[in-house]
Amino acid sequence: MSAGRVPAAAETAVVLVECQQGVLGEGSVLPDLRDASPGLPDAVARLADVARAAGAVVVHATYEGSYGAVDHGTAPLWRLLGPTTRAWAPGSHSTEILPGLRHPDDLVIPRHHGLCPGSGTELFPVLRGLGRRSVVLAGVSLNVALPLAAGEAVHNGFRVLVPRDAVAGTPAAYGEQVLRNTMSMLATVTSVAELAQAWGCLAETSDKTGDDSHSAVTRGVEP
């Protein structure tokens, strides 16, 4: 993908959707999704490093529980998740961002209702106020939240990009179909490496091990 197809990092926000303990951690309420995407946290960490080095805003769009709501709407997914997320609240373990993903300069914009981070929340007004006109969506999932978020973003006048290696759905083959047949209609489907190249950032393999292990990123220098 040519650099001309990638918006400037200074005009872009990278939105990490539900990259939190209760979704992708050991206590996930969606274990099939977590198990289908074991490398996703590292890929998202690389993307976040690239974004910060290039000057993009990194936003953690978490779900922090419904404050005890008894009516979650009509979606069958909520009939499944409503009872299992009833104890979720700001500061609880399930709403914590995964280790290694958060930086002090990042924004955290949680929601307490709905199936995606951009419906009836502060996300898009905040990004617009920061002068960000493009959104890179990463995280989970390609089943529901990410397509809905992409639709909301384009309806609100944002350009959307989706790095194929920093998103996931279940089953994995279905996630690929969503990228090919749905997300490509709403967004530019790209990769973390393509974004790094377009933004002049070079990924360097780290020697770290453990939960926080991922690539370090430095700003590219023109020869």
The DSSP code sequence of 128-169 is HHTT--EEEEEEE-TTTHHHHHHHHHHHTT-EEEEEGGGEE-
The mean pLDDT value of the chain amounts to: 90
pLDDT band at 69 (very low <50, low <70, confident <90, very high): confident
Rounded mean pLDDT, 53-73: 93
Residue 214 has pLDDT above 80, yes or no: no
Q: Taking residues 194-215, report their average pLDDT.
A: 63
**In the structure, what pLDDT confidence band is assigned to residue 147 with cuts at 50, 70 and 90?**
very high
Say yes or no to pLDDT of 212 above 60.
no
pLDDT mean over 101-117: 96
Give pLDDT, residue 21: 98
pLDDT at residue 216, as a whole number: 52
CA angle 22, 43, 96 (to 5 degrees): 25
Question: Is residue 53 scored above 70 in pLDDT?
Answer: yes
Q: Which domains can be identified in the chain, with CATH numbers?
A: 3-219 (3.40.50.850)
- Give the confidence band of 210 by pLDDT, cuts at 50, 70, 90: very low
Residue carrying structure tokens 């069958």: 76
Quick one: what percent of the chain has pLDDT higher than 90? 80
